[in-house]
Amino acid sequence: MNWSSAANRRTVIKGMGAGALAIGGIGWAIEPARADLAKAEKLLKELIGAKVPQEGKVRLEMPQIAENGQTVPLTVSVDSPMTPDNYCKAIHILAEGNPEAGVCTFKFTPASGRAEFSTRMRLAQTQNVWAVAEMSDGSVWMTKTEVKVTIGGCGG
Amino acid sequence: MFSRRDLIALAAATAAIVGPGRAARLAAQDRLSEADLLAFKPVGNVTLLHITDLHAQLLPVWFREPSTNIGVGEVRGLPPHLTGEAFLERFGIARGSAEAYAFTDQDFVELARRFGRLGGLDRIATLVKAIRAERPGRTLLLDGGDAMQGSWVTLQTKGADIVRAYRALGVDAMTAHWEFTYGTERVKEIVEELGFPFLAGNVLDTEWEEPVFESTAYFERGGVKIAVIGQAFPYTPVSNPRWMIPNWSFGIREERVAQHVEKARAEGAQLVVLLSHNGFDVDRKLASRVAGIDVILTGHTHDALPQVLQVGKTLLVGTGSHGKFLARLDLDVRDGAIKDFAFRLIPVFSDAIRPDREMAQLIEELRAPFKAELERTLGYTKDLLYRRGNFQGTWDDLICAAILEQRDAEIALSPGFRWGPSLLPNEPIRMEDLWAQTAITYPQVYRITMTGAQLKDVLEDVADNIFNPDPYYQGGGDMVRVGGLGFTIDVEQPIGRRISELTFLKTGAPIDPERRYVVAGWASVNEGTEGPPVWELVARYIEERKEIAVPRAGLVRVKSA
């Protein structure tokens, strides 16, 4: 849940679309590349218009290092009373390093009781995942977390 | 194979070396007595005993501590990232002393000959029994995992030897890492066979995210209710083959740790202990972010620290590895808090401590079926063989040289394991010694081609796993060892920029990003990897030479502030 440190640390592991690839694995390719930030930013603008997301309220739990890039668990929750005059309307998940930046949108009403869900997503490479919450008062809140997709290898 | 004459000559050579050393060791024994090693001014009502990362070393070992153990980011220059003289200075240890030998690489060979091997579960048993007798009803013995990997006997019995030894020792609870490399079904059996809690609160099943193992065990010692929370190695499915445990998911799971702590307090625990295989830097960060943990018994990164390190109100213990040390932490726990404590990391000097008779017998019994294979002598080493350290190491130079030759490869890779004891110059190399460097459930030596660009990416990826400034992204371990390859590493750089000046040693030319190189290595985490077990290749390499002067297989230049 660290904004700043994540921005320029990324490596790309493609091929087989797999997460943990062994050193000396067969039939894979690695290529360093930069995630296409523009895609995620463009999508965000489509979702929330000219509003500027604020930091806070959104909690995104993901593993620091993915065990399997094909299916990475995530849980997101938004701090909201979920009353008719103050509730979270929607949560969007964006992946800045996937071929498509949009992952999913969950919509809520006050009757939802809590603005929270768990799901799984696919990660093509090490990247930041964004969770964006739209509130009934028009405010937008956001957090990012970096998830590493590594080739593995061991120490201790 | 060896001729009889070779063996006699070899025996004579070793005797000549060991001979004068033995007198010195007797003198050392005079100085270092069992009573000295046990000397401790007891404090309070609870004694925690901790061993970790035994790596199946039931017998005493030589184990040279690292000469390079770099910390990055906030932990640069902080313990445990101190080595050699800096370590001695920080902890006020005299050069040439028994402690200097146990804790550092300084004057290693000379001091090894003077003070003898460390460890041995029979010696540990003697210490544990003595402390239990001194502190009846107050002592808790915990193991931090990586007990069931690292020897041929353990590999052949899939950990059953250690299960028996730990039951005999009276371990009260353990957590795990390499234990998982026996696969799901065997781990379930081990949990049943242990007879004491196997704790891993951070392991969930991948389908429903439900706990697989117990997270917490409760004990009453000295009138204190103690909660022990187990934390298995968070990156087991990344660092080791996930296909062996496909339905289990790991991770640091900080919030879950916090929940376990809260629950333990709610259950009335007055002392909360995290029995962890996170690695020291991960635990240091965890201690700063999760409130309410009184003690973290750290593991995985093999750091031996003569003092407890405090983070806020949490005490961190670093107990080393391979049975070299037994940690004793006495606590005065009152009103749900630690009022006072005393600590000693006891070096297990095997010459000074009487072996416990029952444990010694059990160890002999466990080894008996394999004795002939274990003692098969392959040759002898002219040089010190050691593994531990951030870069290279002579054991892996030898392994890489053997792989290059025996698999006719241009470049060899050997994983940066932190386990594996040392051998002194002029000692015989037996199969047992070689297995202590290689005995894993996925030992196949693969042979593939990789482009220069791919090689660089592998090195970058591994380096980021060790030198990432955020400990939560670190997997522990040391840098992958190379043969036939040279490179420069600047650990302070971000991923993609740490590795430079890659050189193909065969020609001295820069590595060509486009060219494909024949690469061989072992311990691939991929399912279906094919090739002979690494020990077969290395054994053949040694037997063909008999006398090993360790070749410089790879070349690593380290840039570090």
Q: Residue A152 falls within a domain, yes or no? A: no
> What residue numbers bound the domain in which A68 lies?
3-147
Burial B409-434 (b: 16+ CB within 10 A, else e): bbbbbbbbbbbbbbbbebbbbbbbbb
Domain containing A48 — which CATH number? 2.60.40.2470
Q: Report the chain B residue with the minimal C-alpha distance to residue A154.
A: B239
Among the candidates B305, B333, B365, a domain finishes at B365
Burial (0-12, 13-18, 19+ Cβ within 10 Å), B481: buried
Q: Are A154 and B417 in contact (CB under 8 A)?
A: yes
Both B279 and B331 in one domain: the answer is yes
Both B104 and B199 in one domain: the answer is no
State yes or no: pLDDT of A27 exceeds 70. Answer: no
- pLDDT tens string B509-542: 999 999 999 999 999 999 999 999 999 999 999 9
State yes or no: pLDDT of B111 exceeds 60. Answer: yes
Both B184 and B52 in one domain: the answer is yes
Both B103 and B144 in one domain: the answer is no
Both B489 and B534 in one domain: the answer is yes
Domain containing B403 — which CATH number? 3.90.780.10
Confidence of residue A152 (pLDDT cuts 50, 70, 90): low
pTM, entire model:
0.90
Both B201 and B338 in one domain: the answer is yes
Both B435 and B498 in one domain: the answer is yes
Confidence of residue A151 (pLDDT cuts 50, 70, 90): confident
Q: Residue A154 falls within a domain, yes or no? A: no
Q: Please report, rounded to a whole number, the percentage of residues in chain A having pLDDT higher than 90.
A: 69
Among the candidates B331, B365, B399, a domain finishes at B365
Among the candidates B339, B365, B391, a domain finishes at B365
**Which of B9, B516, B55, B510 lies closest to B277, judged by CA?**
B55
Q: Residue A56 falls within a domain, yes or no? A: yes
- pLDDT tens string B307-352: 999 999 999 999 999 999 999 999 999 999 999 999 999 999 999 9
CB pairs under 8 A between A and B: 146
Q: Residue A47 falls within a domain, yes or no? A: yes
State yes or no: pLDDT of B183 exceeds 70. Answer: yes
Both B428 and B336 in one domain: the answer is no
Q: Residue B487 falls within a domain, yes or no? A: yes
Residue found by looking up tokens 């009803």 in the block:
B137
pLDDT, averaged across chain A:
79
Q: Residue B14 falls within a domain, yes or no? A: no
> Which pLDDT score, from 0 to 100, does residue B31 have?
73
Please indicate whether, in this complex, the C-beta atoms of B462 and A73 are within 8 angstroms of each other.
Answer: no
pLDDT, averaged across chain B:
94
Q: Residue B18 falls within a domain, yes or no? A: no
- pLDDT tens string B461-470: 999 999 999 9
Tell me, yes or no, if B454 comes closer than 8 A to chain A by beta carbon. Answer: yes
> Which pLDDT score, from 0 to 100, does residue A24 have?
36
Both B177 and B295 in one domain: the answer is yes
Residue A151: which of B240, B250, B458 has the nearest Cβ? B458
Q: Which residues in chain B touch residue A65, judged by CB atoms under 8 angstroms apart?
A: 235, 238, 473, 475
> Which residues 93-132 of A are in CB contact (within 8 Å) with B?
118
Q: Residue A155 falls within a domain, yes or no? A: no
State yes or no: pLDDT of B285 exceeds 90. Answer: yes
Both B439 and B343 in one domain: the answer is no
- Tokens for B178, please give them: 């390499």
The domain tally of chain B equals 3
- pLDDT tens string A60-72: 999 999 999 999 9
Q: Which amino acid is at B424?
A: L
> Which pLDDT score, from 0 to 100, does residue B475 have?
87
Report the alpha-carbon angle B370-B198-B307, nearest 5: 90
A36 versus B184: the higher-pLDDT residue is: B184
Q: Residue A156 falls within a domain, yes or no? A: no
Domain containing B326 — which CATH number? 3.60.21.10
Please indicate whether, in this complex, the C-beta atoms of A68 and B242 are within 8 angstroms of each other.
Answer: yes
- Tokens for B94, please give them: 């005299």
Q: What is the mean pLDDT of residues B226-238?
A: 97
- Tokens for B57, please give them: 């070393």
State yes or no: pLDDT of B2 exceeds 70. Answer: no
Q: Are A20 and A152 in contact (CB under 8 A)?
A: yes
> What residue numbers bound the domain in which B84 lies?
68-111
The domain tally of chain A equals 1
- pLDDT tens string B414-461: 999 999 999 999 999 999 999 999 999 999 999 999 999 999 999 999
Both B442 and B532 in one domain: the answer is yes
B275: left (phi over 0), alpha (psi -120 to 50) or beta: beta
Both B142 and B222 in one domain: the answer is yes
Q: Report the chain B residue with the minimal C-alpha distance to residue A59.
A: B255
| Cβ neighbour number for residue A124 with a 10 Å cutoff | 19
